[in-house]
Amino acid sequence: MTLTDIPTSSSGARGPAAPYDELIEAQRVHGSLYTSPAIFADELEQIWYRTWVYVGHVSEIAEPNDYVRKNIGPQDVIMTRSADGEVHLLLNRCAHRGNLVCEADAGNSSSFRCPYHGWTYRNTGDMLGYPFHGGYGGRGKLDLGLGRVPRVGIYQGFVFGSFAPDGPTLEEHLGEAKGEIDRLVRLSPEGEVEITAGFLKHKARANWKLLAENETDGYHPQFVHASIFSVAQSGIGALYGEKSTAVTRALGNGHSENDLRPEFRRIGAPLGWFGTTEEKVPEYSAAMRARYGDAAEEILIEGAPHVMIFPNLFIAEIQMFTIQPLAANLTVQHVTAVQFKGAPEMNKRMLQQCIGSVGPAGMLLADDTEMYERNQAGVAELRPEWLDVRRGVHREEIDERGLTVGGATDETGMRGFWKHYKHLMTEGRAQ
């Protein structure tokens, strides 16, 4: 399969939809990048239907023949596990006349039967059969399978798909962000996360990039979230203050993080990052110390990552978001609580804390989303045309890993995002 075989919004490679070199400068970006339907269509081809995109987690299809409906942007993708344990990403479209073949959100089945004329497919995507076969000259005459996402990559149980038949490997794409996923899974006494709590789906009438940029924007929390910080006696606000020792780091390939470890190390309390203590979760603490020995102390002090993995996976400590772009001005955030394998005591707390924070009624995310929507309305105004992303550029440093690091409230993550975006949309375009 080649890229042009994939059902995209247009046929084949085209020229750039806009002069990206002029629209993306080092310290400012043009408003039309958020509003133009032509740019959105170009992004689908050059980013969403090409680079590695996070799709789902292996724990969502734990058993042979489990499946769950996911997405890559507007594409409806069925993530399946075949009887041999392999993970497949199939497009939800019958090879006969294009009907949806799967209407359930999740289930267990070795095959899919299209309800329209009864064509059947294995959960590997291979064709099984078609009724009244005389009309095709007999059995086994057709070999029309479901569309597939040609490359499937799995890192620590996180399943990614790429519509490009070749290109960087998943590990090359993740690069320095791998270590952040490692930091998350090591908080499980069994070294694995599980995604079992189901997702809230929260609509934002805004461009997906406003969400992606906000995820590691350490400048906004004290303003957007002041209401909840003040009534919940939350320590989060201080992590994103002027005096915070936390840093913002561009991880390369458009990934970025708010590295809060300097603050958590300064506080020096195991589970302080989660606002609790070992005494309150004794079984979890014992299991962690049994598994990691002396290293457990540091793991429990440093806590979970706050990382945005380009273009659509955001891990905010105990919360996992995926960003689904549907139009230049419409995005869906899918969000769930991270659950650690072998940690029921922690999982209950993480779930309830997550529910309070995220989703349509979340005490944090309702306000972030209000900003996304007002931001979308604002960037449609004609002047002054540009969005400023210069914050902290004068105080950035290069760390020992060669990565750019800014202060806790600096726009270092956004600049890293735009650098990668610009590469993909210009010299790095699909040929």
Partner 1 sequence: MTAAATAIPTDAEPTQLDVRDVEQFLYREARFADEHRYDDWEALWTQDGLYWVPANDDDADRMAKMSIIHDNRSRIATRIRQFQTGRRHSQVPHSRLRRVVSNVEILGNAENGDLEVGANFVLVESRERSNELWAGRYTYRLRVVDGAIAMSYKKVALVDNARAIATLSFLI
Phi-psi region of 210 (alpha: psi -120 to 50; beta: other; left: phi over 0): alpha
In the complex, the smallest distance separating the C-beta of residue 370 from partner 1, rounded to whole angstroms, is 4
Say how many residues touch ligand FES, by CB under 6 A. Answer: 9
Indicate the residue among 262 and 356 with the shorter CB distance to partner 1. 356
Instruction: Transcribe 292-359 into DSSP letters.
Output: HTTHHHHHHHH---EEEETTTEEEETTEEEEEEEEETTEEEEEEEE-EETT-HHHHHHHHHHHHHHSS
In the complex, the smallest distance separating the C-beta of residue 358 from partner 1, rounded to whole angstroms, is 8
234 in contact with ligand FES (CB under 6 A): no
224 in contact with partner 1 (CB under 8 A): yes
> What string marks each residue from 99 to 138 as x (binds partner 1 by CB under 8 A) or -?
------x---------------------------------
Q: Of partner 1, ligand FES, Fe ion, none, which one sits near residue 378, judging by CB under 5 to 8 A according to partner kind?
A: none
Indicate the residue among 97 and 348 with the shorter CB distance to ligand FES. 97
Q: Of partner 1, Fe ion, ligand FES, none, which one sits near residue 62, judging by CB under 5 to 8 A according to partner kind?
A: none
213 in contact with Fe ion (CB under 5 A): no
Indicate the residue among 205 and 265 with the shorter CB distance to partner 1. 205
96 in contact with ligand FES (CB under 6 A): yes
The residues with which 29 forms a beta bridge, in sequence order, are 24, 387
In the complex, the smallest distance separating the C-beta of residue 229 from partner 1, rounded to whole angstroms, is 10
Residues 375-404 that bind partner 1 (CB under 8 A): 377
Q: Of Fe ion, ligand FES, partner 1, none, which one sits near residue 117, judging by CB under 5 to 8 A according to partner kind?
A: ligand FES
Residues 102-131 that bind ligand FES (CB under 6 A): 114, 116-119
3-state helix, strand, coil in the chain (%, to 5): 35, 25, 40
176 in contact with partner 1 (CB under 8 A): no
- Cα separation values, 415 from 52, 153, 234, 404, Å: 20, 27, 29, 10
368 in contact with Fe ion (CB under 5 A): yes
Which of 354, 379, 414, 425 binds partner 1 (CB under 8 A)? It is 354
In the complex, the smallest distance separating the C-beta of residue 198 from partner 1, rounded to whole angstroms, is 5
Range in contact with Fe ion (rule: CB under 5 A) among 182-190, 280-288, 368-376, 413-421: 368-376
Which of 9, 65, 99, 156 binds ligand FES (CB under 6 A)? It is 99
Backbone phi, psi, residue 155, to 5°: -130, 120
State CA 223 to chain mean position distance: 25
> What string marks each residue from 299 to 338 as x (binds partner 1 by CB under 8 A) or -?
---------------------------------x--xxx-
Indicate the residue among 97 and 266 with the shorter CB distance to ligand FES. 97
- Cα separation values, 324 from 81, 290, 309, 343, Å: 23, 39, 13, 30
Tokens of 151: 């490359």
The residues near 29 (Cβ < 8 Å, ≥ 6 apart) are 23, 386, 387, 389, 418
Taking alpha carbons only, the member of 132, 203, 187 closest to residue 345 is: 187
Which of 47, 228, 307, 424 binds partner 1 (CB under 8 A)? It is 228
Number of H helices, E strands in the chain: 15, 23
78 in contact with ligand FES (CB under 6 A): no
Tokens of 32: 């039309």
* Burial bucket for residue 95 (CB in 10 Å: 0-12, 13-18, 19+): buried
193-196 long-range Cβ contacts below 8 angstroms, 24+ apart? 193/57, 193/59, 193/156, 193/157, 193/338, 193/339, 193/340, 193/341, 194/57, 194/59, 194/339, 194/340, 194/341, 195/56, 195/57, 195/59, 195/60, 195/320, 195/336, 195/338, 195/339, 196/59, 196/60, 196/339
CB 281 within 8 A of CB 345: yes
Element spanning 280, H or E: none
Q: Of ligand FES, Fe ion, partner 1, none, which one sits near residue 116, judging by CB under 5 to 8 A according to partner kind?
A: ligand FES
Indicate the residue among 129 and 356 with the shorter CB distance to ligand FES. 129
The span from the CA of 202 to the CA of 218, in Å, is 22
Q: Of ligand FES, Fe ion, partner 1, none, which one sits near residue 429, judging by CB under 5 to 8 A according to partner kind?
A: none
Residues that bind ligand FES (CB under 6 A): 94, 96-97, 99, 114, 116-119
Residues that bind partner 1 (CB under 8 A): 105, 196-203, 205, 224, 226-228, 230-232, 332, 335-337, 348, 351-352, 354-356, 359-361, 363, 366-367, 369-371, 373, 377
Residues that bind Fe ion (CB under 5 A): 368
